[in-house]
Structures are given as structure tokens and as C-alpha cells.
Amino acid sequence: MDQSDALQRVVRAAISQRQVVQPGGGGTKGFLHPAAADAVLVSTAEHEGVLHYHPDELVIRVRSGTRLIDLQATLSEAGQYLPCEPPSFGAAGTVGGMVAAGLAGPSRPYVGGVRDYVLGMKLILPSGEIAAFGGDVMKNVAGYDITRLNVGARGSLGLILEVALKVLPIPEVVQVYGLKCDPSLAQRHMLALRRLTGLSASAYFDGVLLVRYQGSKRAKAAFEQTLGQGFMPVSNAGLAAVRDLSFAHTEHLWRWDGAVDAPVTGRLVAMDWGGALRWFASDAAPDIAADEGVITWFRPGEGVLPALTPRADGVGRLQQRVKTALDANGTFIGYPALRPSS
């Protein structure tokens, strides 16, 4: 159901009263950006539906409140899928939340992330106006690629109303293989296999190295031969757990991004993206050298939330520059503070 006008009225009312707007959807990713006490929460959950989909075009346009599982079901019926395999964190997860979070699953290093599959979008701007971006719809303003900037911005630059996505045919063969080993051996295998043709996932979870093949039946044998002995066919459950962060822990969950060959240290929960993405469970920020990667707080545990601060590195400064350029009056909530305080 189209709720564009109603959503625009709410945003404009907040602007007139100088209140900060915090976009939301199904509520499954609220931990990524805890609600501000003084913010007006604007939900797109009822703004749903497929607007345009012809499978031969490999493009689908949906309203932002469309549930991710419904999008995936529609694509599956046509033998297609969204290759970046974004997590939903629950059945209520929406396409708008997927784009705003910008999170991608184990296939990210091999096929690209959410940003690579978003062709265009319609959103409510900080001015309260509705505008469409991407493709031939409207030129981007002031040299900024508005569509891509809103992917992963967590609602800090606008309220997403519609999204056009590139999709692809489901591969002929999809098979996951597992090898029981310790984290160090898993890392060595990840480095050795990272350029293997057909590799679409390389992760480590619960004492098992998980690699996934996607491709033709004919090429599958060559893939298995390169893997060597010890790897056995397994279900997709382990990779799904890594994608959806289905980790059983009571501590805070921390995300580490760095080089694939950086030493494996700390209370490691899982590795993904061939070792370039790692998850740690700890009440305090993991003690990892700054030159080995970037640590950010991701999800709360049962303990007291540690002191956090906005990123002050190049990425943080760039985020602030973009925010100032596109939302100088602070209509939408700022990007969350995720770095541990020094």
C-alpha cells in the first residue's frame, strides 16, 4: 500500500517543529541505531508492495516496507535471487532496512554488496521533498551519488520510499563444504583458496571452515579437486548463521574489518569474507592493534554498554562531511557512534 503522502506529512510536521526524524521499518535492525529519546520515529512497515518486475529485465522495484522474505520469495518463483544475500534478522525485516543498513552476507567479496545491486531509489529528502534518483530518473545533485550514499547510511540522509534492485538468475549448482579445524588453519585455507573459480563464500564458525561453490555442474568436480581431502558436503546452516549473526553469546558483539592475513586473536566468534570480516564477543572492546583493522560495536549483550564515540578516522570525517552537505539542518538522525572510546 502506498503511504508516501502520509510519510511525507509526518516528516514535514517534524521539520516544522524542529524535531529530529528517525526512519524505521520492521524493527529487526533497531540495535544498529538505538532510538533517540527526542526523535520522531517514522516507520515504513505499511508502505509495501512490488511496483515493477519483469524477470527478463533482471530488475525489480519495490516499496521500502516490503518484507525481505517476500522479495526473496517473489524472485525465487522466477528462478532469480539477490546475490549479496543480506541478513534480515527476522521475518519482519524490510527492503528499506536492508538498504539503510547496507549489510551483506558471506558472498560480499565475490559478487559485491548491497550498494552494487541498488540501481535507484525514491526518498524523502531532509527538505521534506520527495525525489527519485538513479538511472535516467534524476541527476544527482552537487556531485553526490545520492543512491549509493543512502546505502548503509542508516537513515541519516533521508527516508527511503522505493528501491530498484538488480537481480540475477539462481546458479545451476550451489553446494557448501565444511572442514573441521582451528582458526589459524582456517585462515591459511582461506588465503590459499581466495581466487578459486566458483568460490562464493569462505567463512569460519563453530570450529568449521565453510566454503561454498556456485556455478555449473561441469565445473563442480574441478572445484572439489582443488579443495582437497577433508572437505565434506554440508548444509547451508553454518553460513546462514554467519550471515544472520545467529551467535549464542551474552557479551557485546564487536565487528572487526581488516586485512585477511592479520593475526587471529581475541575471543573470536566467527570469520567471514575470507577472513576480512571477524566477529568478537566481549563486554569490553577487543584489544586489537589499530594497524591490524577497525573495531566497531555492533550489537548489545547483557552487560553495561561500553562508552562509544563517532569514528574520527578518514571514514568518520567523510561521513560528517556528507551529512553536513546533504542534511545541514539535521532533519534526520545522525550516524550512530560505534567506535569504543579511547
pLDDT tier at 341, thresholds 50, 70, 90: low
Per-residue pLDDT for 320 more than 90? Answer: no
The Cα–Cα gap between 171 and 221 comes to 16
Give the SS3 label for residue 212: strand
**Predicted pLDDT at 36:** 76
- Give Cβ neighbours of residue 38 (< 8 Å, ≥ 6 apart): 19, 20
The Cα–Cα gap between 28 and 45 comes to 11
What are 165's strand-pairing partners? 60, 118
Tens of pLDDT along 41-97? 999 999 999 999 999 999 999 999 999 999 999 999 999 999 999 998 999 999 999
Nearest alpha carbon to residue 210 among 237, 184, 179, 250:
179
pLDDT tier at 18, thresholds 50, 70, 90: very high
Q: How far is CA 5 from the centre of its chain?
A: 28
Per-residue pLDDT for 138 more than 50? Answer: no
The Cα–Cα gap between 177 and 212 comes to 6
Other beta carbons within 10 Å of 119: 17
- How do beta strands 39-43 and 20-24 pair? parallel
Please say whether the beta carbons of 301 and 4 come within 8 A.
Answer: no
**Predicted pLDDT at 87:** 93
- For domain 4-169, give the fold: 3.30.465
Nearest alpha carbon to residue 167 among 52, 24, 29:
52
**Predicted pLDDT at 236:** 96
Q: What is the pLDDT of the chain when averaged over all its residues?
A: 91
Percent of the chain with pLDDT over 70: 94
- Give Cβ neighbours of residue 94 (< 8 Å, ≥ 6 apart): 25, 26, 44, 45, 48, 64, 65, 66, 67, 68
Give the SS3 label for residue 158: coil
User: Can you tell me the mean pLDDT for 161-184?
Assistant: 97
Give the SS3 label for residue 113: coil
**Predicted pLDDT at 139:** 46
Q: Which residues of 161-174 are buried (b: 16+ CB within 10 A; e: fewer)?
A: bbbbbbbeeeeeee
The CA-based dihedral angle spanning residues 222, 223, 226, 230, taken in that order and rounded to the nearest 10 degrees: -120
Higher pLDDT, 47 or 31: 47
The CA-based dihedral angle spanning residues 91, 94, 99, 105, taken in that order and rounded to the nearest 10 degrees: 10
Per-residue pLDDT for 148 more than 80? Answer: yes
User: Can you tell me the mean pLDDT for 138-152?
Assistant: 75
Please say whether the beta carbons of 35 and 22 come within 8 A.
Answer: yes
User: Can you tell me the mean pLDDT for 123-149?
Assistant: 78
Least confident piece of the model among 43-57, 160-174, 257-271, 324-338: 324-338
Can you give the residue ranges of every domain in the chain?
A: 4-169, 173-299
User: Can you tell me the mean pLDDT for 220-245?
Assistant: 95
Per-residue pLDDT for 248 more than 90? Answer: no
The Cα–Cα gap between 209 and 296 comes to 24
